[in-house]
Structure 1
Amino acid sequence: MSRRTAVITGAAGGLGQAIARRLLADGFDIVAVTRNARSAAATRETLVAGAHGHAVHALHADLVDRDAVRALAAQLRDTVGQVDVLVNNAGAAFAGYGETTDGMELTHALNHLTPFHLTHLALDNGLLAPDARIINISSGLMARGRLDRGEPDVTGISWRHRYSQITVYGTAKLANLLATTALADRLPGGMSAYSADPGVIRTGFHTKAGGLVKLASSLGAIMAQPPAKAAHTPALLAMAGTSPTPNGGYFAKGAATTPPKTALDADLATLVYERTARALGLAARPATAPRR
């Protein structure tokens, strides 16, 4: 069997590193993406210890920087040539409003715009294998998301004067799920895209977030899973012998699950997809499959 390669963003610890370990154990070569050179070196050293002869590469990029995302896509092409699984895991729920150098709200940039951007760059430069799987990490908090069905704000800047940490994070995750659904209808035949909800995780993510997300996590700590258990759903999507169905689906607890009603709005999904492409200066891909 030919060797498979998986790219995982946000792999310095927590869920991302747990997914990397699962995929290494399943025979994948891994490219772990972290925020800086120091964390990349430490992550590679940690993963190599359990690699059992499989390749471990570590790259770093500040994923809220659009130029850094472009540079990462080029590095991936030079490092591994082709990717079988792309796991867009990096994320954060910032406690207050902030903007990137491109004028995008930070939570939307990291949780929605960056995975969309990296995925499309990988598609455009031929990085993805013909049967590649794209797995975007979702969250149950998307049920708290708010998007105008006529004028959805995909960049988050409308939250400048009414910032609510949980709602903004949920909105970014909702936008990403909708865009993932629309992308699935626009992929070349053989490729697939999924949204994977790992559930509540016992990591430093919520503590670092601060604000209401930290409070909510402390109240729900008894329900939190260790990263190794939370990695089950995204790892299953990556490792399954045949591509899970439905393409574009939302998966939780290892199975396809019905998302909140707003996430099922096909017209909104198309609008979010097209507006996101436009915000990033990308060409929207035409639909190649019938709308679900």
Structure 2
Amino acid sequence: MNTPTAVVTGAAGGLGQATARQLLAAGFHVVAVTRDELSARTTLRALAAHAQVPAQAPVQAGRVHALHADLMDRAAIRALAVGLRDTVAQVDVLVNNAGAAFSHYAETADGMERTHALNHLAPFHLTHLLLADGLLAPDARIINISSDLVTRGRIEVDAPDVTGVSWRDRFSQIAVYGTAKLTGVLATTALATRLPTGIHIYSANPGVVRTAFNSKSGGLLKAASLASGLFAQTPEKAAGLPVRLAAAPTPMTPNGGFFTRKAAATPPEPARDAELAARVYEDTARVLGLVPLPAR
């Protein structure tokens, strides 16, 4: 029996690295994706030590590999897809964990608001590139990390902004982050109806996690982290959710569902609008220059 392979983005620390460690313990090969070469090498050493294999090569060590890409850059995402194709035979689990909540408005080189680019557009783009390459296994599982702050998201039903540029003159860190995550939940719901039979996709909300995410974000999120720190989970505990979704002997249901620490949950009301989900999916594919998958 072949050992399954899991790809985890944002694996340099926190939830991403905890998820990678637990997937290694569950018997997966792991490809850790970080932002730059230095963090990839550091992460490789940490995961290789955890897996008790020698880190002799710069980007791989037995069951552990490390690649790097700036996921706010479309060209880098395309290069990452090529790197994955050159590194593994197939991807059985894709955990789209990388994310950030920026404290002020700025656009990427591709002209997208940064929070939307990293939290929504990047996982959508990478997932579709792996699908197009045939790299996802026939029974692959895709896990998009969500957030409690989806409840703070605001989307115009008739004209959803999937790029975030409409926030240029009214930027609010928490609202923009919540909106990017809500947009991702909608796209996940729609993609579940378009994936080849056998592939499952989930939105996973691990809740508040005790990492450097909020403090690094600055702004209101940094202040909020001081108040919520006592109630936050450790990354190891929070990683239980994506690992369960990845490793359950039978795929958890519903496909396209919104999962919290305990089980499948009801997503915020806007995320239950099938027509809006389809519109967000189609618009996202269009702005990324991708061919939308047809609904089954």
Q: Same fold (TM over 0.5)?
A: yes
Higher alpha-carbon deviation: 43-52 or 8-17: 43-52
Matched, 1:148 2:143: no
Deviations 1:123-142 (A, max 9, x none): 00011000000000000101
For 1:113 and 1:218, how far apart are their aligned partners in 2?
Answer: 29
Query: Residue 287 of structure 2 is aligned with which of 258, 279, 291?
Result: 279
- Give the whole-Å Cα distance in 1 for the aligned partners of 2:7 and 2:189: 21
Give the one of 77, 91, 94 matched to 2:99: 91
Native 8 Å contact 1:232 1:254 kept in 2? no
Corresponding residue pairs, total: 288
1:202 to 210, 227, 235: 210
**Which of 247, 266, 277 is the equivalent residue of 2:274?**
266
- Is 1:49 the counterpart of 2:49? The answer is yes
Aligned residue in 2 for 1:35: 35
Q: In the aligned structure 1, how far is the partner of 2:139 from the partner of 2:51? A: 24
After TM superposition, which residue ranges in structure 1, 4 or more long, deviate above 6 angstroms? none
Find the counterpart in structure 2 of residue 25 from structure 1: 25
Cα distance in 1 for partners of 2:167, 2:89 equals 39
Q: Does 1:8 align with 2:16?
A: no
Q: Aligned to 1:127, which of 125, 129, 135? A: 135
- What is aligned with 1:60? 68
Is 1:194–1:250's contact at 8 Å kept on the other side of the alignment?
yes
Q: 2:203, 2:292 → 1: CA distance?
A: 20
Pair 1:137 & 2:168 matched: no
TM-score (norm 1): 0.97
What SS does structure 2 have at the residue aligned with 1:155? coil
Q: Deviations over 1:73-126 (max 9, x none)?
A: 010011002000000000000000010011000000000000000000000001
2:88 alignment counterpart:
80
CA contact (8 A) 1:236 1:254 kept: no
Cross-structure match for 2:252:
244
User: Where does structure 2 lack aligned partners over 5 or more consecutive residues?
Assistant: 54-61
* 1:215 Cα deviation after fit: 1.0
TM-score between the two structures when normalised by the length of structure 2: 0.96
**Which residue of structure 2 aligns with residue 183 of structure 1?**
191
**Match of 2:93, SS?**
strand
- Give identity over the alignment, percent: 66
Instruction: Report the CA distance between 1:254 and its aligned residue.
Output: 3.5
- Name the residue aligned to 2:226: 218
Separation (CA, whole Å) in 2 of partners of 1:141 and 1:46:
30
Q: How far off is 1:217 after superposition?
A: 1.5
The whole-number CA distance in structure 2 between the counterparts of 1:30 and 1:91 is 19
CA–CA distance in structure 2, aligned partners of residues 265 and 90 of structure 1: 26
What's the CA shift string for 1:165-210, capped at 9, x where partnerless?
0000000000000000000000001001000001101000000000
Structure 1: 5+ residue stretches without partners: none
TM-superposition CA deviations, 1:218-253 (whole Å, max 9, x none): 111111011000111111000100110000000001
Which amino acid letter does the alignment assign opposite residue 10 of structure 1?
A: G
Q: In structure 2, what is the Cα distance between the partners aligned to 1:155 and 1:260?
A: 20
SS of the residue aligned with 1:220? helix
1:52 CA displacement: 4.6
SS in 1 for 2:141: strand
**Letter of the structure 2 residue corresponding to residue 205 of structure 1:** F
**Whole-angstrom CA distance in 2 between matches of 1:276 and 1:51:** 38
Task: Name the amino acid aligned to 1:103.
Answer: G
CA distance in 1, matches of 2:172, 2:233: 25
